[in-house]
Amino acid sequence: MPPLKILCLHGYTQSGPLFHAKSRALIKHLTKALSPTHAVTTVYPTGPIQLLPSDIPGYEPPSTSTSTTSTSTSTEGGSTDDDTSTEAYGWFRRSDTTNPPLYSGLETGLSSIAQVLKNEGPFDAVIGFSQGAAMAALIASLLEPGRAETMTRFRDPAVACQGSEFSGVPGFQVPEVWDEVWRVQPALKFAVCYSGFRAPGPRYRGFYEPGVRTPVLHVLGTLDAVVEEARSRALVEACLGSGDDDGRVVFHPGGHFVPSQRPYLDAVVGFVRGVLADEEGAGKNGKGKGVMEEDVNDMDLPF
């Protein structure tokens, strides 16, 4: 059986092993469904940014009697005042002290993933959750033909800020290690984004304009209180061929987690089968089409 190697990217405050546990039902179902034609393998890297307790949403600082000194800066979780490390990791931190918002450490996150692509690839696809889903879309975009030149063009502030309220903001500069990745890793066959979102502002426009051509399935929770639907919709709109009418947006009636119920697992299988059929049919001037099921069942507990 030909391999289907999938890169799996965890969410903010998670780790590779934790996401492996949270997505076990998905990978097991996908492996079983595709076993007649493909051998599914997965790699679960851990983000390079180890978070402090105060980086984690809901953190409450220790009492004033506790003598800890912070040397950290403002992060997505707020200003830090505790230097105790955790087993929680991220691919970047969102800083709202700048306008537009800045993804601090994104260069480090992309460099870390680049090493995985070089050392353990090539990969066929990527699956991500939350912040990992945002990264999955960035990775899929970067691996598309011509995207390197697009990113270079958007480095010009005039190009990045054209048509926006901002001025003088340069586009994101891709880490140099990606020059090596582009020589060994082809474009991905597909991406699956659970509770994903688009990076905001002109700084990251090069990733999304023109639209992401890699087939992307978006799985969103109607009760997600962590990632607002508007942020997820922005990512959907940036992906060509992604829309409610195209069967590439699936809603589950739950919150911020990877659903493990059969209809939503079948939705991923249908999408993947459709993509693989399209790829096989391309050489025969044919097309395949995945079938999406959007039934509603009991939901898994959020983590």
Tell whether 66 is covered by a domain: no
For 15, other C-beta atoms within 10 Å of its C-beta total: 20
AA identity, residue 153: R
Q: What pLDDT was estimated at residue 173?
A: 97
pLDDT at 54: 82
Can you state the percent helix, strand and coil of the chain, rounding each to 5? 35, 15, 50
CA angle (12 as vertex; 30, 146 as ends), nearest 5: 70
Distance (Å, whole) CA 10 – CA 98: 26
pLDDT along the chain (303 residues), means of 10: 94 97 97 94 97 81 48 38 76 89 96 98 97 98 97 97 95 97 97 98 96 97 95 96 79 96 96 90 50 36 32
Six token digits for residue 188: 């991905």
Identify whether 296 is part of a domain. no
pLDDT, residue 32, reads: 96
Q: Would you say residue 199 lies in a domain?
A: yes
Please indicate, yes or no, if residue 290 is contained in any of the structural domains. Answer: no
Cα angle value 221/225/230 (rounded, 5°): 70
pTM: 0.85
Domain presence at residue 299: no
Residue 24 lies in a domain: yes
CA distance 190 to 296: 25
Query: What was the pLDDT predicted at 76?
Result: 40
Between CA 154 and CA 21 the distance in angstroms is 38
Residue 216 placed within a domain = yes
Q: Residue 193 sits in a domain of what CATH number?
A: 3.40.50.1820
Does the residue 300 lie in any domain? no
Burial of 259 (0-12, 13-18, 19+ CB in 10 A): buried
The string of pLDDT tens digits covering residues 82-138 is 556 788 999 999 987 888 999 999 999 999 999 999 999 999 999 999 999 999 999
Number of domains composing the chain = 1
Q: Which two tokens stand for residue 221?
A: 């929770």
User: From the centroid of its chain, how far is CA 273?
Assistant: 21
pLDDT of residue 144: 98
- Cβ-proximal residues to 244 (8 Å cutoff; 6+ apart), any chain: none
Amino acid at site 222:
T
- Secondary structure letter of residue 126 according to DSSP: E
Q: Is 265 exposed, middle or buried (0-12, 13-18, 19+ CB in 10 A)?
A: buried
Containing structural domain, residue 90: 3-60+72-282
